Amino acid sequence: MKIMIAADYRKLSQMAADIVAKQVQTKNNSVLGLATGSTPEGMYSILSHMHRQDNLDFSEVITFNLDEYVGLAPDHPQSYHYYMKHHFFKQVNVKSCNINIPCTEKNNPEKVCREYDQEINNSGGIDLQVLGIGTNGHIGFNEPGRLLSVDTHIVDLTEETIEANSRFFKSKNEVPRRAVTMGVGSIMKAKKIMLLASGLNKAKAVKEMLSGKVTTDLPASLLQLHHDPLFILDHEAASLFQAKE
Ligand code: F6R
């Protein structure tokens, strides 16, 4: 388990982008697992810059996104399809046929879930999975609870997540109540995992994630069982964890 502490969000984003760039340079047909949310925005922006400036080549890269809301059309400005296009895909040269994001708009959600894990396996498995963490310790949309699902599945979002994500919508009522997410098993199968956490509002979840104990009440704590996880934290997100050290 490796933990890197960055002085601030900008440095965290640079560290994360450097790791993705190295992955892609080492294996040009890398399979990347990607996350949305505020945290990886800086990383996507730096990677886009590296593509323009240094010809960082994504032409053979295959991507799988962690999750998507159920019921939002891909062109809805709050959909994760839209986010990925805006922040990353239209800035770099990933081929559209190599982009995978679960889409339930016109398809049966259960079928989408079944086929998604199959597609990941067919691609050879995820080489590097990028993750954020929710204030309640969720990864993807695997919410705290008594049971966690192994495979890609449909999930009812918790009030805490709906509240946290309402900042992207006009009102809380507009936040979809359900999402498709890769399961904890799909995530743990990735060859490498890189979790990013920034800001004081993540400090408690980060402390519990790295506590040495594993619980379904804090899904990110499972990552301690992965064979090659990297946690990149900024000082604020690391503050309670470091206070404990
Ligand atoms: C996004 C995702 C979520 C976010 C988490 C943190 O694809 O899977 O688990 O990583 O909610 O979101 P931010 O970065 O907005 O704090």
Ligand 1 centre from 137 Cα, in Å?
Answer: 10
Could you give the CA distance from residue 74 to residue 102 in angstroms, rounded to a whole number?
10
Q: Is the pLDDT of residue 204 over 80?
A: yes
Ligand 1 centre from 157 Cα, in Å?
Answer: 13
Question: Using CA positions, which residue lies closest to atom 9 of ligand 1?
Answer: 140
Q: What is the percentage of the chain residues whose pLDDT exceeds 70?
A: 99
Which ligand 1 atom sits nearest the alpha carbon of residue 40?
Answer: 14
Active site residue 136: yes
Question: What pLDDT score does 118 carry?
Answer: 96
Active site residue 100: no
The mean pLDDT of 102-127, rounded to a whole number, is 91
Which ligand 1 atom sits nearest the alpha carbon of residue 65?
Answer: 7
Please report, for residues 97, 99, 145, 180, 238, the alpha-carbon distance to residue 136 in angstroms, rounded to integers and kept in the order given.
Answer: 34, 29, 11, 18, 16
Active site residue 67: yes
Q: With bands split at pLDDT 50, 70 and 90, how would you rate the model's confidence at 245?
A: low
Q: Is the pLDDT of residue 105 over 80?
A: no
CATH number of domain containing 116: 3.40.50.1360
The number of folded domains in the chain is 1
Q: Which residue has the tokens 């800035």?
A: 91
Which ligand 1 atom sits nearest the alpha carbon of residue 140?
Answer: 8
Question: What pLDDT score does 110 carry?
Answer: 87
Question: What pLDDT score does 106 carry?
Answer: 75
The mean pLDDT of 132-148, rounded to a whole number, is 96
Q: What is the percentage of the chain residues whose pLDDT exceeds 90?
A: 89
pLDDT digits (tens, 9 = 90+) for 27-72: 999 999 999 999 999 999 999 999 999 999 999 999 999 999 998 9
Q: State which of 63, 80, 101, 138 you would mutate to test the pocket of ligand 1, scoring each by most atoms of that ligand within 8 A of its C-beta.
A: 138
Burial 91-127 (b: 16+ CB within 10 A, else e): bbebeeebbbbbbbbeeebeebbebbbeebeebeebb
- Residue type present at position 14: Q
Beta strand 153-156 with 62-65 is unpaired
The mean pLDDT of 109-132, rounded to a whole number, is 95
Question: Which residues constitute the domain of residue 176?
Answer: 2-244
Ligand 1 centre from 35 Cα, in Å?
Answer: 7
pLDDT digits (tens, 9 = 90+) for 154-193: 999 989 889 988 988 899 999 999 999 999 999 999 999 9
| Catalytic pick among 143, 153, 226, 234 | 143
Q: With bands split at pLDDT 50, 70 and 90, how would you rate the model's confidence at 244?
A: low
130 membership: H or E segment, kind and range:
strand 128-131
Ligand 1 centre from 166 Cα, in Å?
Answer: 13
Q: Which residues line ligand 1 (CB under 6 A)?
A: 35-39, 66-67, 132-134, 138-140
Ligand 1 centre from 138 Cα, in Å?
Answer: 8
Which ligand 1 atom sits nearest the alpha carbon of residue 161?
Answer: 11
Q: What is the mean pLDDT of the chain?
A: 95
Q: What dihedral angle (degrees, nearest 10) is formed by the CA atoms of 50, 52, 53, 55?
A: 80
